[in-house]
Structure 1
Amino acid sequence: MAWPVQAQGKPAVNLSIPAQPLNQALLQLGQQADIQIYYLPEIVRGLDAPAISGVLTPEQALRTLLQGTGIQYERNGNAVTLRRTGEVAELPAVSVTGESPAGPSDLSAAYPGGQVARGARLGMLGIVDIADVPFSVTAYTSELIENQQARNLGDVISNDASVQLGGPWHFDNFYIRGLPLNREEIGFNGLYGIASTEGNVLDGIERVELLKGPNTLLTGASPRGTAGGGINLVPKRADDTPLTRLTANYMSDGNVGGHADIGRRFGADNRFGIRINAAYRDGDSSTDNESQRVGMLSAGLDYRGERLKVSADAGVSSQRIDGAKSNFYVTSPDLPSAPAGSTNVWPSWSYQEKQHTFGMVRADYDVSDYVTLGAAYGGAESTRKMNSPFGIITNGQGDISFSPSALEEDNDTESLEATARLRIPTGPITQQVVLAYTDFRSDISNYQPQTTWSATSNLYDPVSLPEPPGLDFDQALTPLSSTRLRSYAITDTLSALDDRVLLTAGLRHQRIRVNAYHWATGAFESRYEKSRNTPALGLVVKPVDGLSLYANYVEALSQGDTAPNTAVNANEVFAPFVSRQGEVGAKVDWGTLSTTLSAFQIKRPSGFLDGSNRYVIAGQQRNRGLEFQAFGEITPGIRLLSSVAWTQAILTKTAGGQFDGNEAAGVPKWSVRLGGEVDIPYVPGLTATARVIYASSQAFSADNSMRLPSWTRIDLGARYTTRVAGRQVVLRAVVENVANRRYWDTAPAYQTVTYAAPRTFLLSATVDF
């Protein structure tokens, strides 16, 4: 059919739509070409669409997608109606793409290539396009999580060169821009305290959003107070198209599991939605004497009315790792070479057992076209029980001294947020004022069984260790810490010249109150309480289409550090401190490829272990850096997800100038992530993938007497999309650490290191029913 006369002026646009199910392809066409497409879900069910890329009119693109399907289209203005040949074009119970109703489950569209989204949730500012915010933000999609077969949050965040792992894979600790992000500081749907503090399972997660730099203004004070950045997990929601997806997976050397993902919408205008995810994996890993068992169940509900939008999430997860590798504390003046990744010096009787239960609800109500009120509330409980000896590397030959280390811990959290968003049109300048209140509570209790036991082993020739006798578990837990964070904030975003100039100014008043108790007796030890007003200022200027220049200045009040277990003053809690960041950058959208170049400086008080093994706050750490990121499609069928970071982390103002000018531990000067995908033209549906991860050498201690060597890891993979018995099937294979390299792979916080996993094979098969 030819376009109606009134639609003939619709211009050609730059489109990039990968080969995928037809309903998803139509959704992306509606978003990229700014048209509405109406159809009954059953007429596209089970159909696939070819890839489209290049400058095309909506008519050309639609003809290509519908070729051979028997589906015809009619267009009236900006709306397109699809129907089967011979059917009457009617619109009962339609599915709409391009401009779906707004709601709490809304997501920014995926950028061409499907690995990264165009926008993210930025706390009190809501869901914002990355081109419109004066910060460096990346939102990784569920498509990336599935295709890379990510088992944990570290697998996803490792795609960014500004992020380093901060411990074993089974804990979500990271370093962002050279500063620590503790696992307690990971958000869930915009709230702290809901995500697991003991390692998150990703099967129910739609997006992983990474914000670099202090984010206190946007999200409130985090439980530990990071200055390097923040992570937010976005739960899955039901789409208009029904979903029943089953995945079987395998990890060497014998870990097998499955995942079910089911989504439905119902009611008038599909206003009600439910998304259920369930997964279970169990078996040996690629490391000797290590096995992993993971189970999870989550449910996401939502309602999207004309003015009221409500969502609710609940879930449980359980993890057990037997023989789990952990950190080593290093007292040797020489750091030995890392052992083979398959070597495991931890005994088979050691374990980490973790449970997590959570629930939260979020609601938004449009009082008028200019006023929106919102609220969110949630709570969670994370528990951990472990018996894993503590290892100290004592010399350059790799000798290890072990002592007993056992723990039972319970972390109860509650979190609350209330917002009022006011849109004020004032002629040529539009204002959006947001008022926010946050309240966070965390109570941690624990019990640490004690016994006299010691053993020795070696990194390269481990011996069988006897189990420590007399460890008495299942005793009453005693208080360890109690944290209360409360804040009030206001932001005002001014928009002028058709959103080409956006200025955001804000102020947050924060109050931190922390009680610390003795780790063994639960007796009260110390309390501190501090409040402060922390400002933030951000500017975005778009001189031409596709180019965003931005700058920001942010201050953040952070909860004070806690001395590590390896220090003689273990668990001592220090007073809160203020971190400051300045950043400038440029974001360029080339059509199907997005690039970001940024420069930043962060200053914050510095903590380290001194010569007497006491953790002290002395001096300041100043991190300066340059970052470059690129993602999207270079050409049709070639996708890129890469970044490079140069970071100079220096200690200043140390006591007596002892370490002034030294490199801060745990920050590689150069970090590189080069990832890409190529569709094989001679085998439709086949895609080859590759990723290179590199970290330069880095200081290991404040005196810089030891360094961790540089390392490089290469991952290769492939996936094949086809149809079997009328069902879409995706087969995936990934080999991590192809060269089986040996290296220390985590940031050496408090003089601790972890060695990398060996070559690991990942296989999965996904079927849509």
Structure 2
Amino acid sequence: MTKLTPVAFAAALSLHLPAAWAQAQGTVTLPTVTVNASADASAQGLSAPYPGGQVARGGRAGILGTKDNMETPFSITSFTNELIQDRQARSVGEVLQNDPFVNVARGFGNFQESYFIRGFILNSDDVAYNGLYSLLPRQYIATELFERVEVLHGASAFLTGATPGGGGLGGGINLLPKRAPNEALSRVTVGAGTGGWGSASADVARRFGPDASTGVRVNAGYRNGGTGVDDENASTSVASVGLDWRSRNVRLSGDIGFQDNRLKRTRTNVTPVGVAFIPEAPGAQTNFAQPWTYSNEKDVFGTLRGEWDITPDVTAWGAWGMRRSEEANSLANFDLTDAATGAGRTSRFDNTREDAVDTGEIGVRGKLRTGSVGHEWVLAAATFDLEKKAAYAWDFFNTQATNLYHPVFSPLPAFTSSAFTGGVLAAPGVTGRTKLTSYAIGDTLSLAGDSVLLTVGARHQNLHISNFDYNTGALLPPDYDQSRTSPVAGVVWKASKQLSAYANYIEGLTQGDTAPLQASNRGQSLAPFVSKQKEVGLKYDGGRLGGAIALFSTTRPRSLIDAGGVFTAGGKDRHQGVELSAFGEATRGLRVLGGITWLDAEQLETGDPATNGKRVIGVPQAQGSLGVEWDVPGLKGLALDARVVGGGSRYADAANTLKVAGYSRLDAGVRYLTEVQGKLLTLRARVDNVADRNYWTSTGGFPGAGYLVVGAPRTFNLSASVDF
């Protein structure tokens, strides 16, 4: 199938829409598919969708399991597959445009999706899959294979353990795989859009055996073509098989997935170098990427998970996951050297990487009562092992002149003798190993007639991180091997069926910094950095409309060289703010999803008057999103939606001399559901960035770096799904 076939197919369906309306005869009875199968081989299963179907009533709170939002002292948002489809979200980042507390950014020197949560960065390396870290593609995660995208707002060392990449201090993301629903499913979707891209995907599921105890779900998808940015091209292939089996007291599931993502001439980050101000963003369609650049990533990943009900009140579980991946890139990131004219430079940077990840978790949880006090206790242990192979060649001094607004394109430059190199690009060697182990214990006590829920616990974690010379393979000092115990305390007061108040203290955990060459103790590693979060909030559930407000303060240690030349832990970043959200059905046929956050992220006690008290790079003081979806009266099956996404100004440097303007963007869509010859047909059309605004969508995404990313231009997307 060529890339134009889905386009032609979608066009044909749109031409036959009047016939579909005629066959509908004004009355449409749409079939309902109810998914009751577990997504994670747990007795708890998926949290039920909230009215409106865009988010769920709860989500997975790490080792505590799936929890209703009204009964957990943490803030969790679980976006449903229905929302993913209706917003035509092709990546996790596009799903999170619907989360007012998340700002989607990009990795350092590559095209990796990264996510600011409460002002702290989380890279896609540290996204969890079915509860286990770093199993998914580390650059870009397509959405075709997932049932839910869950976001935990806040620190999570006790709940999920420290992330292998060192992020996640402000929150975590967990993706749940698809499972076979109770009813047979056979769905084909085709799509097309701006830039000439086309797509086709299939989603097939069946249940077999006595009591439909065995489920199989197969997903496959392909998309290829332009992006709306001049001469930019992206191609993505995905496939997965999900199996599950259940008996009276045992539940098993397994998943295997594949993704091949290839980018050509993708627009790069822009790094300000020696400029006095940040200029306006270039035209949203302008592509300043060099024509020879590319980025390829191929991943195979999978999980196994099982549960055994030892007694009616005690359940043991185990999980294992793996990822094997290969990456190859030829990049030319843009250094902006003249803000007035847009002049800049690029240099060639090639790299290859291979990852091998193995990770697992075991645990047991149960319920009991001691007098009038109920207990939900849990014991768990986890392990993580990453072996990284990498090689690079960077011709830093061999630059090519170009311009942000009027790009100058150069032929592929050969590497010069002054290029920095490490390893062999065609056969990268081992350059790093990360080993994490942890043990956790926790209990949720039910008090005062179960109206008060008190959660206490702790996780002891060991971080062992080794780095090796690119060329010799020799172990480089320091060999980081440190441990820390992370406590948690949280309380929920269920004031009524509609209102819960909560508070928590929970920590985040990352590897401590290593002393640089100019320090007298160069090479020495600091103890693990511990972020400390305090949060209070209210949650409201009106039956069809819900909302929440949270006030939080999180501190993260910094490092500095003191007056005696010693590298030590000193100072901190303090992120404190307010989050306000709403979701559900405001009235029948009118759904809302969105909110706003006010965030004060400051650098404190830095030891440098130029940065002390200044805002953290890339974090706006206000950001948010608001989506509204409306069922058009008198036209059953027709719905319109609109979404506003925006953020305030940010800074691209620690001294706050480079201010980046804020932005806002309007997106809109339409969906029509009907029945044609007994088959459910869903047509969707969408326009993102309706006004075609030019803006900087994010700043930073790596500690201390203030690079800029240009927002996407106005794009049109059309899709058609048929359930056979």
Q: Does the alignment reach a TM-score above 0.5?
A: yes
- Structure 2 matches for 1:706-745, cutoff 5 A? 706-745=658-697
- Structure 2 matches for 1:503-542, cutoff 5 A? 503-519=454-470, 521-526=472-477, 527-542=479-494
- Partner of 1:241, secondary structure, is coil
Alpha-carbon distance, 1:370 to partner: 1.6
Contact 1:603 1:622 (8 Å CA) reproduced: yes
Deviations 1:695-739 (A, max 9, x none): 000122111111110101100110111112221101001100011
Are 1:220 and 2:161 matched, yes or no? yes
| TM-score of the superposed pair, with normalisation by structure 1 | 0.84
Letter in 1 for 2:454: L
Alpha-carbon distance, 1:672 to partner: 1.6
Deviations 1:255-279 (A, max 9, x none): 1011100011010011000110000
Deviations 1:240-290 (A, max 9, x none): 100000000112110101110001101001100011000000112201111
Letter in 2 for 1:104: S
Structure 1 residues 48 and 559: alpha-carbon distance in aligned structure 2, compared to 1, 3 A threshold: farther
- Partner of 1:157, secondary structure, is helix
- Among 114, 126, 136, the alignment partner of 2:75 is 136
**Which residue of structure 1 lines up, in the alignment, with residue 174 of structure 2?**
232
**Which residue of structure 2 lines up, in the alignment, with residue 413 of structure 1?**
357
Structure 1 residues 456 and 474: alpha-carbon distance in aligned structure 2, compared to 1, 3 A threshold: same
In the alignment, the residues of structure 1 paired with residue 449 and residue 184 of structure 2 have an alpha-carbon distance, to the nearest angstrom, of 38
Are 1:369 and 2:316 matched, yes or no? no
Letter in 1 for 2:446: S
Letter in 2 for 1:153: V
How much identity, in percent, do the aligned residues show?
Answer: 37
Alpha-carbon distance, 1:348 to partner: 2.4
Structure 1 residues 442 and 575: alpha-carbon distance in aligned structure 2, compared to 1, 3 A threshold: farther
- Partner of 1:505, secondary structure, is strand
Deviations 1:659-683 (A, max 9, x none): 2211111110010201110010032
Letter in 1 for 2:213: R
Deviations 1:421-449 (A, max 9, x none): 12112232210110000101111111113
- Structure 2 matches for 1:392-411, cutoff 5 A? 392-396=335-339, 397-411=341-355
Letter in 1 for 2:358: E
In the alignment, the residues of structure 2 paired with residue 608 and residue 464 of structure 1 have an alpha-carbon distance, to the nearest angstrom, of 41
Deviations 1:577-624 (A, max 9, x none): 1110000000000110110000000000247999xxxx9976210000
**Which residue of structure 1 lines up, in the alignment, with residue 520 of structure 2?**
none
In the alignment, the residues of structure 2 paired with residue 572 and residue 764 of structure 1 have an alpha-carbon distance, to the nearest angstrom, of 55
Letter in 2 for 1:426: T
Contact 1:594 1:632 (8 Å CA) reproduced: yes
Letter in 2 for 1:178: G
Contact 1:198 1:382 (8 Å CA) reproduced: no
In the alignment, the residues of structure 2 paired with residue 467 and residue 434 of structure 1 have an alpha-carbon distance, to the nearest angstrom, of 57
- Among 221, 237, 247, the alignment partner of 1:295 is 237
**Which residue of structure 1 lines up, in the alignment, with residue 613 of structure 2?**
661
Structure 1 residues 604 and 673: alpha-carbon distance in aligned structure 2, compared to 1, 3 A threshold: same
**Which residue of structure 1 lines up, in the alignment, with residue 406 of structure 2?**
461
Structure 1 residues 421 and 705: alpha-carbon distance in aligned structure 2, compared to 1, 3 A threshold: same
In the alignment, the residues of structure 1 paired with residue 506 and residue 78 of structure 2 have an alpha-carbon distance, to the nearest angstrom, of 21
Are 1:276 and 2:218 matched, yes or no? yes
Letter in 2 for 1:664: V
Letter in 1 for 2:188: L
- Among 530, 533, 547, the alignment partner of 2:499 is 547
Question: What is the aligned-residue RMSD (CA, Å)?
Answer: 2.6
In the alignment, the residues of structure 2 paired with residue 497 and residue 434 of structure 1 have an alpha-carbon distance, to the nearest angstrom, of 22
- Partner of 1:446, secondary structure, is strand
**Which residue of structure 2 lines up, in the alignment, with residue 259 of structure 1?**
201
Deviations 1:466-517 (A, max 9, x none): 1122599752212222111111000011013443211000111111111123
Letter in 1 for 2:291: S
Worse-matched range after superposition: 577-586 or 105-114: 105-114
- Structure 2 matches for 1:47-62, cutoff 5 A? 49=29
Worse-matched range after superposition: 489-498 or 228-237: 489-498
Alpha-carbon distance, 1:529 to partner: 1.2
Structure 1 residues 450 and 50: alpha-carbon distance in aligned structure 2, compared to 1, 3 A threshold: closer
Are 1:176 and 2:117 matched, yes or no? yes
**Which residue of structure 1 lines up, in the alignment, with residue 708 of structure 2?**
753
In the alignment, the residues of structure 1 paired with residue 264 and residue 60 of structure 2 have an alpha-carbon distance, to the nearest angstrom, of 37
* Residues matched between the structures, number: 671
Letter in 2 for 1:543: A
- Among 302, 323, 335, the alignment partner of 1:380 is 323
Letter in 2 for 1:356: D
**Which residue of structure 2 lines up, in the alignment, with residue 208 of structure 1?**
149
Letter in 2 for 1:291: N
Contact 1:111 1:117 (8 Å CA) reproduced: yes
Deviations 1:330-379 (A, max 9, x none): 11222121101110010222101001101210000000012111000111
Are 1:246 and 2:188 matched, yes or no? yes
**Which residue of structure 1 lines up, in the alignment, with residue 5 of structure 2?**
none
**Which residue of structure 2 lines up, in the alignment, with residue 308 of structure 1?**
250
Alpha-carbon distance, 1:383 to partner: 1.9
Alpha-carbon distance, 1:524 to partner: 2.4
Contact 1:159 1:642 (8 Å CA) reproduced: yes
In the alignment, the residues of structure 2 paired with residue 424 and residue 558 of structure 1 have an alpha-carbon distance, to the nearest angstrom, of 35
Deviations 1:87-138 (A, max 9, x none): xxxxxxxx99989999538211100000000111111111111111100100
- Partner of 1:764, secondary structure, is strand
Are 1:185 and 2:137 matched, yes or no? no
In the alignment, the residues of structure 2 paired with residue 696 and residue 240 of structure 1 have an alpha-carbon distance, to the nearest angstrom, of 46
**Which residue of structure 2 lines up, in the alignment, with residue 443 of structure 1?**
387
**Which residue of structure 2 lines up, in the alignment, with residue 766 of structure 1?**
721
Worse-matched range after superposition: 165-174 or 530-539: 165-174
Structure 1 residues 656 and 319: alpha-carbon distance in aligned structure 2, compared to 1, 3 A threshold: closer
Contact 1:339 1:742 (8 Å CA) reproduced: yes
Unaligned 5+ residue runs, structure 1? 1-46, 52-64, 66-94, 565-570
**Which residue of structure 2 lines up, in the alignment, with residue 390 of structure 1?**
333
Deviations 1:385-421 (A, max 9, x none): 0001122111112111111111101121111100011
- Among 146, 161, 178, the alignment partner of 2:85 is 146
Letter in 2 for 1:237: R
Letter in 2 for 1:252: T
- Partner of 1:454, secondary structure, is strand
Contact 1:175 1:747 (8 Å CA) reproduced: no
Alpha-carbon distance, 1:380 to partner: 0.4
Structure 1 residues 361 and 639: alpha-carbon distance in aligned structure 2, compared to 1, 3 A threshold: same
- Partner of 1:448, secondary structure, is strand
- Partner of 2:615, secondary structure, is coil
In the alignment, the residues of structure 2 paired with residue 206 and residue 408 of structure 1 have an alpha-carbon distance, to the nearest angstrom, of 32
Letter in 2 for 1:121: R
| TM-score of the superposed pair, with normalisation by structure 2 | 0.89
**Which residue of structure 2 lines up, in the alignment, with residue 627 of structure 1?**
579
Are 1:339 and 2:277 matched, yes or no? no
Contact 1:334 1:395 (8 Å CA) reproduced: no
- Partner of 2:132, secondary structure, is coil
**Which residue of structure 1 lines up, in the alignment, with residue 376 of structure 2?**
432
Are 1:118 and 2:73 matched, yes or no? no
Alpha-carbon distance, 1:161 to partner: 1.8
Are 1:603 and 2:555 matched, yes or no? yes
In the alignment, the residues of structure 2 paired with residue 618 and residue 477 of structure 1 have an alpha-carbon distance, to the nearest angstrom, of 37
- Among 421, 439, 458, the alignment partner of 1:488 is 439
